[in-house]
Chains A and B, each alone.
Chain A
Amino acid sequence: MSDAPKPDQAGYYEQEDLLRVDYGPPREDWMRSRASFRPGTFIYPAKPKNLDYIGFPNARQWSPTDEDWKLPANWQEIVLEGIHERLEKYRSFKVFMDICVRCGACADKCHFYIGGGDPKNMPVLRAELLRSIYRHDFTAAGKLLGRLAGARPLTIDVVKEWFYYFYQCTECRRCSVFCPYGVDTAEITMMARELLHLLGLSVNWIMEPVANCHRTGNHLGIQPHGLKDTLEFFADDIEEVTGVRVEAPINRKGAEILFVTPSGDFLADPGTYTCMGYLALFHELGLDYTFSTYASEGGNFGLFTSADMMKRLNAKIYAEAKRLGVKWILGGECGHMWRVLNQYMDTMNGPADFLEVPVSPVTGTRFEHARSTKMIHIVEFTADLIRERKLALDPSRNDGRRVTFHDSCNPSRSMGMLEEPRAVLKGVCRNFFEMPPNTIREQTFCCGGGAGLGTDENMEMRLRGGLPRGNAVRHVRDRHGVNVLAACCAIDRATLTTVCDYWAPGVKVSGITELVANALVMKGEKERTLDFRKEPLRGEEGPRDA
């Protein structure tokens, strides 16, 4: 074995090669060209045991690079029936199949197209991959005129192409911001992935977390005693750094607040530092709260699977809130989690009439905008605390950090939480710089690894998809000396670390609450010299040089 980098390692890719993007479309008609499964650009199939565990059909061993995908005998019937069913269930799907005029405004809005140039990564063409089948089998024009009307028959090559390109969409919804009719590729990708699931075609990077979450309550498969150990370990670290011993209440009945956060915060650096930030903050506020082991996942890879799977996983949050008898729910820093909580949870598993409208026990602020779901975002909670001056803060402790903020796709485009994180960051850091306007807020660029694509075997696509974000980070790094990229998303904290190391080396990724905890002056703390990373708190040596 040689030590040369492999396609699942960033070092395998030369920046010069990735930056030579060819936007010229191929000569061959897109209806005829086939997907080619090149290592680094696709994700491994789900292991059968993961599909079996959650009762998904047609679980089997197969490989995208094989000619034979071992589809069930009546696969065409299954897919067409699946399309029919979804057209009847989703107005969005039906309307988006019909009204696109192929104006092309969406084309260069996709991070994968910008960084890769593959025409089938233009949102319009990604949707046409499915639309062409819809026209062929569900519209009069398609039935009569065939290819002239943009219709083509459902073949095995079409299914392969779907698997390739609908797992090259991060459901980030950036294209939908620019579409004159609001056609949302995320919606189309969700339908296409549901169709692929009917045939047992799925990726392990999503289905293993889903199966884990179903069983253990979180994506990472952390069992109850393991979660307890993890939080105790964090408490030890916090004590070492601050001299203050914090509690990590778990499964405690009668607490006022249930706290739910993505499980990435328990296990993966730098998310762990954000989790320590939560513990320190809640301790300092004397918050009456509890973690849950059964509902130990805020994220929901069901969103990347199917509406029913999303509902099955999400159901645990309200069920646990009810069992524990809490009054309301507080959610941690996660992107797609907040799409589910903001746009799906109440509809799927509500009404939460056994809970109360969230009221901050510290400020008395009543969060009317969450009066039905009874769940608010930690950044909303903290923004209110800072506004009401309820936290003792020393922002100078973050002076070694020159911070920019990455709006995560879902909190910005499926919620609109734009000012709250900025209010918090400006409250705890004195050096805050925005990236260029076309790359933030509702126009923010995806990390390139959302919607279940953030796995190493997909490294080429992640680096290409991460290019627009990485480029904007590099811009503020060079211009303002930015060395910290703050993000309120667990997937970002994992994937943007890779993106920054590759495209903007020297910039570290941090959660928002980690930065809050740096600035937080705790009662009874010793003189603080370290942050939770056990690096100099004030960054005398500077995180840039680390």
Chain B
Amino acid sequence: MRVLVALAAVVALLVAVSVGIDVLGWRWLFGVIVPYSAGLLFLVGIVARVLDWASSPVPFRVPTTCGQQRSLDWIPPARLDNPSTTLGVAGRMALEVLAFRSLFRNIRSEVRDGRLAHGSNKWLWLGGLAFHWSLLFVLLRHLRFATEPVPRFVLGVTRVDGFLQVGLPVVNASTALFVAALAFLFLRRVTSPQLRYISLPSDYFSLFLLLAVGASGIFLRHFAKVDVPAAKALVLGLMSLSPRPPAALGSAFYAHLFLVSVLLAYLPFSKLAHMAGIFLSPTRNLANDSRARRHVNPWNHPVSVHTYEEYEDEFRERMREAGLPLEKE
């Protein structure tokens, strides 16, 4: 049910854009107004999100320590898994963001046939890493549509990405990986009863939307053989604030552009904001140095404490009898 709702939402987006272009011819809407609005929503949304998170203080220093602390000189500390310095924290965050360090620890634990067994389980790590890195490569490749002349590193990325030398135009490895990883993440979610149980429609929507972006991109490159100069002209026009949607581009192109626009606009307001949130996670981005340096809580308000005087007042007689020292005789 939740899968179908999400699927229906993505299909509705596709229907909207094809009707908009093929029937109504609203090229300005889908080629100019929607991309601009989406870009604006993305920028404003993600900045607002980060500012909103940052506006709440970090009252306590609560890193999850995943290795040996820095204590005695002769015990080597785990500088990355339990950093005590800012440099160590930077290293921990880099490992987390670039290599999904924590997910790499993943194991499977279950009681089966009356026995508890723990086993290695790196598939989620692999699938997640494959998806995120391929997405980065796809984005870098797409810079050729937004730059003139195209920077050398973009051409380099494109060349590396086509190393398979299959098909014409060449099939990009990152595209294949992108779709395969998403398919894996989707299948993982629907085939596991536990994951299905915890999944929300928005979890499926994100996956379907990304899959549709990928599928429409593949269709454009390998089947519709999109008019690349026209597409680039549109993007460059948007970039230079003089947009002119060329008539040469069909609804397939607009579908791709529209889905990307929806993705951009949706991102800051959904769980996909984790891309920014990870950097603000207090269990990961703080050094475990709270015994060496005092961490200050901006709202550290006074609380009522049972003072020693009150304590001694209550127990004075018994303390005297027991021969314990007193403040007031």
Contact = CB atoms under 8 A, between A and B. Distances in A.
Interface string A328-361: 0000000000000111101110110000000000
A181 B274 contact: yes
Interface string B59-78: 11110111111111011011
Given A95-B281, A98-B271, A416-B67, A103 B59 contact: no
A122 B193 CA distance: 13
B259 to A, nearest CB: 19
B291 A92 contact: no
B120 to A, nearest CB: 9
A50 interface: no
Most buried by A among B52, B274, B300, B312: B274
Interface in A431-452: 436, 438-439, 441-443
Contacts of B315: 216, 223-225, 293
A256 interface: no
Interface string B255-296: 000000000000001111110011011111000111111111
Interface string B115-133: 1101000001000100000
A91 B198 contact: no
Contact of A92 (B193, B283, B304, B318): B283
Contact of B271 (A101, A214, A228): A101
A179 B128 CA distance: 13
B56 A347 contact: no
Contacts of A100: 271, 274
Interface stretch (A62-70, A314-322, A507-515): A314-322
A316 B305 contact: yes
B273 A346 contact: no
Interface in A273-311: 293-294, 307-308, 311
Interface stretch (A14-22, A194-202, A490-498): A14-22
A182 to B, nearest CB: 4
Given A92-B58, A150-B202, A387 B74 contact: yes
B116 A467 contact: yes
Interface residues of B, number: 101
Interface string A164-198: 00000000010011111111100100000000000
A347 B295 CA distance: 5
A122 B107 contact: no
B241 interface: no
A545 interface: no
Given A387-B72, A420-B71, A442-B67, A468 B114 contact: no
Nearest to A375: B291
A104 B271 contact: no
Interface stretch (B17-25, B95-103, B169-177): B95-103
A348 B300 contact: yes
Given A30-B198, A177-B102, A343 B60 contact: yes
A141 B270 contact: yes
A109 B109 contact: yes
A347 B297 contact: yes
Contact of B306 (A214, A347, A351, A443): A214
A347 B303 contact: no
Contacts of A184: 62, 64, 283
Contacts of B283: 92, 176, 182-184, 187
B294 A177 contact: no
Interface in B23-62: 49, 52-62
Contacts of A311: 303
Most buried by B among A347, A367, A471: A347
A401 interface: no
A372 B294 contact: yes
B324 interface: yes
Contacts of B58: 90-92
Contact of B54 (A91, A215, A368): A91
Interface stretch (A34-42, A245-253, A532-540): A245-253
Contact of B198 (A122, A178, A369): A122
B203 A224 contact: no
B190 to A, nearest CB: 12
A276 B64 CA distance: 33
A546 interface: no
Nearest to B293: A372
Given A115-B111, A181-B284, A342 B291 contact: yes
A128 to B, nearest CB: 7
A226 to B, nearest CB: 9
Contacts of B194: 23, 25, 104, 107, 119, 122
B165 to A, nearest CB: 34
B75 A177 contact: no
B324 A250 contact: yes
A518 interface: no
B110 A294 contact: no
A137 to B, nearest CB: 16
Contacts of A125: 197-198
Interface stretch (A258-266, A407-415, A476-484): A407-415
A439 B117 CA distance: 11
A182 B49 CA distance: 19
B325 A101 contact: no
Given A141-B270, A372-B294, A436-B118, A416 B65 contact: yes
B113 to A, nearest CB: 9
A184 B61 CA distance: 13
A371 interface: yes
B240 interface: no
A380 interface: yes
A415 B192 CA distance: 35
B160 interface: no
B15 interface: no
Interface string B177-202: 00000000000000011111111111
A284 to B, nearest CB: 21
A323 to B, nearest CB: 6
Contacts of B299: 89
Contacts of B193: 23-25
Contacts of A439: 118
Given A250-B324, A342-B291, A420-B72, A319 B109 contact: no
Contacts of A103: 103, 124, 128
Contacts of B277: 95, 98-99, 181
Nearest to A372: B294
A187 B62 contact: yes
A96 B56 CA distance: 12
Contacts of A155: none
A417 B274 contact: no
Contacts of A215: 306, 311, 314
Most buried by A among B59, B64, B106, B199: B64
Contacts of A390: none
Given A30-B197, A114-B109, A370-B291, A180 B57 contact: no
A415 B69 contact: yes
Contacts of A369: 69-71, 84, 289, 291-292
A88 interface: yes
B82 interface: yes
A387 to B, nearest CB: 6
Contact of B111 (A107, A139, A320, A467): A467
Given A150-B200, A180-B100, A181-B281, 4 more contacts: A94-B56, A412-B65, A417-B69, A419-B75
Interface of B: 5, 49, 52-62, 64-72, 74-75, 77-78, 81-82, 84, 96, 100, 102-103, 105-111, 114-116, 118, 124, 128, 192-203, 269-274, 277-278, 280-284, 288-297, 299-300, 303-308, 311-312, 314-315, 318-319, 321-325, 327
14 contacts: A19-B111, A89-B59, A95-B53, A100-B271, A104-B195, A148-B5, A150-B200, A150-B201, A177-B64, A215-B306, A315-B305, A316-B308, A416-B288, A442-B67
- The 3 A-B residue pairs whose C-beta atoms are closest, nearest first, are A416-B69, A99-B277, A225-B322
